[in-house]
Amino acid sequence: MIKKLVRQMLAAQILSALTVSLCLLIDNIMIGQFLGEYAIAAYGLANPVLLLIGALGTMLSAGVQVACSRSLGMGSQEETNKGYSSAIGVTVAVSCFFMIIVLLLHNPMATWMGAGTEGELYDNTRGYLAGFIIGAPASMGALILVPFLQMAGQSNLLIAAVLGMTVADVAFDLLSVLVFNGGMFGMGLASSLSYYVAMLIGGTYFISKKSVFKFSRKLITKAKILELLKGGVPSLFSMASSVILIFVMNQLILHSEGGSLAVAAFTVITTIGNSANCISTGMNGVSLTLAGILYNEEDRHGLKDLLDTLLKYAAVLGILMALLIFLAAPLLVRIFIKEEGLAQSMAIQGLRLYAPGLIFCCMTNALKGSYQACGRPVLTEIISLAEGALLPILAGLVMGKIKGTSGLWLYFLGGELLMILLICLYIWIKTRRSPLQADNILLLQDNFGVTEDNLLEVDIRNMDEVIAASLAAGEFCKEHGQPVRTSNHIALCIEEMASNTVQHGFQEGKNNALSVRVQHKEDRWVLRFRDDCSSFDPVAYVPKSADIASGMGIKLVMKMADEVRYTYSMNLNNLTVIFREQEEKKKAS
């Protein structure tokens, strides 16, 4: 089921990663086609401020994924709603504050970015900053809503929001340059308005009755806000590193022999590169969400299976994207820089040197998401800082000294390759085992999860397999010294809940699946049922059912179990049933 989940989520996550870069990509194309190379250079100089907005939104979005995957893994809808409400509250406050600050200081900010104090470069830079920052609440809000739409299984709405934003941005850009002559301010404003269009489309779900997330000001708590911020710190390191990288590279390139034309070339390279990196960003998002749920379920086998799957996808998709970018580099660059000359030739060369780094970047982001979800925030932060700024700047400086401006274009490939080698070295030092095996890569503690002899996992697709799973669970419990009563209760629970899913949840013509996991740890037996049928909450069903005879099997399970938790996330029903061992019950009584 993990492989199926990865396939389902990855496309939506990759598409959602375009919510920020897509508008910037379109703006850059329009700027190049209508306003020229020096306008592209101005956009490049403004880019660190734009990335900072994205960094704040990405931090909160990652915090949502960490905190809410934890609460979903524990089966707590109330904690998930606290995360939702707190995320909305923080986003509104931070984005509005940031918007006001930039609007007040956009003139000196343009100078700080290297645009000088007057002239065309200065006017274009400050104009774009002022126009783009108006959309800060919407751009940050869109990033926050993405993981919630993903958790709610609203991938189609997410796609509609991205498509709506794209169409709106193109339309507003054309109006700016062809009708209103809005210049760089108009280009920035067009992006802002398109983000609000995306918010309006995506927000329709959250104000509808079918929304699984409920907003309440009473659920906004200091503790939950701190949890969101803490969970998002590694992602903030990653995005903040990008801000530092772009700023430093802009200054290095601005003072190279290419000058402002080299900055224009670098801007085109990073714009295309950021869009291509939607694959690595998607890898990180899938890894962060799924690994968070599996980690809180203490599913060691599931985590290894997830990482194996993600790394294979990362390698394949990274190679395909790298080949595409390398071969299509001349065509892609001409979309941005239509005039032949120094800027165009530098951009083509730089983009081809950039492309192979995408392979290693995809792998690193899959690992970062796993480390962050598995309780290793410091390691994630170190990797983010090293990969995002320190190593590429080092590679750029060294190669720039050797080969001039041409050497500077090796900053991305050199940084990503060094990062992979350092991660492998770190894993070998910590484990003294191969850094190519998922169990070693994850760096999990030896006592994490349960041993295989204390775990039973079964995939069910029909009633015959339900009976087989029930009998296997009963024998499994008896082999672990459980009394007949406990063994029968667990076997009966699996028979009732699994048969209910197969008979009433499975739909003809659909390849539905039910995964049952029986885990014995310390004084508890934990049963987890996970299926991809329509949402059904058995915990809520029992008190709502007026018919005494209706749902007798479900009611029986609720009465036998010590604890039952249900959540619906990523189009999956997740039911956790806990039985405590009989000896412990006697002690408690």
Distance between CA atoms of 288 and 310, rounded to whole angstroms?
11
Tell me which residue of 543, 545, 537 sits closest to 566, measured CA to CA. Answer: 537
Contact 121, 41 (CB under 8 A): yes
Phi and psi angles of residue 12, each rounded to the nearest 5 degrees, phi first: -70, -40
Contact 169, 31 (CB under 8 A): no
Tell me which residue of 540, 567, 563, 531 sits closest to 79, measured CA to CA. Answer: 567
Phi and psi angles of residue 101, each rounded to the nearest 5 degrees, phi first: -60, -45
> Whole-model pTM?
0.69
How would residue 18 be classed by pLDDT, with cut points 50, 70 and 90? low
Q: Is the pLDDT of residue 20 over 70?
A: no
Contact 344, 333 (CB under 8 A): yes
Radius of gyration for the chain, computed over Cα atoms and rounded to the nearest angstrom: 26
Q: Is the pLDDT of residue 533 over 90?
A: no
- What residues pair up with 520 in beta bridges, in sequence order? 525
Q: Which of 81-95, 401-415, 541-555 has the lowest mean pLDDT?
A: 541-555
| Selected residue with higher pLDDT from 312 and 285 | 312
Distance between CA atoms of 228 and 143, rounded to whole angstroms?
14
Read off the pLDDT of each residue in 123-130 and give the average, rounded to a whole number: 92
Q: What is the pLDDT of residues 317-364, one digit of tens each?
A: 999 999 999 999 999 999 888 888 888 999 999 999 999 999 999 999
| Selected residue with higher pLDDT from 38 and 551 | 38
Q: Which of 108-117, 269-278, 541-550 has the lowest mean pLDDT?
A: 541-550
Q: Which of 138-147, 282-291, 552-561, 564-573 has the lowest mean pLDDT?
A: 564-573
Read off the pLDDT of each residue in 142-154 and give the average, rounded to a whole number: 79
Read off the pLDDT of each residue in 2-18 and give the average, rounded to a whole number: 74
Tell me which residue of 221, 85, 141, 148 sits closest to 568, measured CA to CA. Answer: 148
The secondary structure element, H or E, covering residue 563 is: strand 563-569
Tell me which residue of 338, 325, 344, 309 sits closest to 277, measured CA to CA. Answer: 325
How would residue 405 be classed by pLDDT, with cut points 50, 70 and 90? confident
Q: Is the pLDDT of residue 72 over 70?
A: no
Q: Is the pLDDT of residue 505 over 80?
A: yes
Domains of the chain and CATH, by start: 2-441 (no CATH), 452-588 (3.30.565.10)
The per-residue pLDDT for 300 is 82
- What residues pair up with 458 in beta bridges, in sequence order? 516
Contact 242, 386 (CB under 8 A): no
The 514-521 sheet, strands edge to edge: 455-460, 514-521, 524-531, 572-580, 563-569
Distance between CA atoms of 55 and 578, rounded to whole angstroms?
40
Q: Is the pLDDT of residue 586 over 60?
A: no
The per-residue pLDDT for 301 is 81
Q: Is the pLDDT of residue 427 over 90?
A: yes
Q: Is the pLDDT of residue 485 over 80?
A: yes
Q: What is the pLDDT of residues 534-574, one digit of tens each?
A: 888 888 766 555 555 556 788 888 888 888 888 777 678 88
Q: What is the pLDDT of residues 451-468, one digit of tens each?
A: 778 888 898 988 999 999
Q: Which of 74-88, 112-126, 217-231, 574-588 has the lowest mean pLDDT?
A: 574-588
Q: Is the pLDDT of residue 588 over 60?
A: no
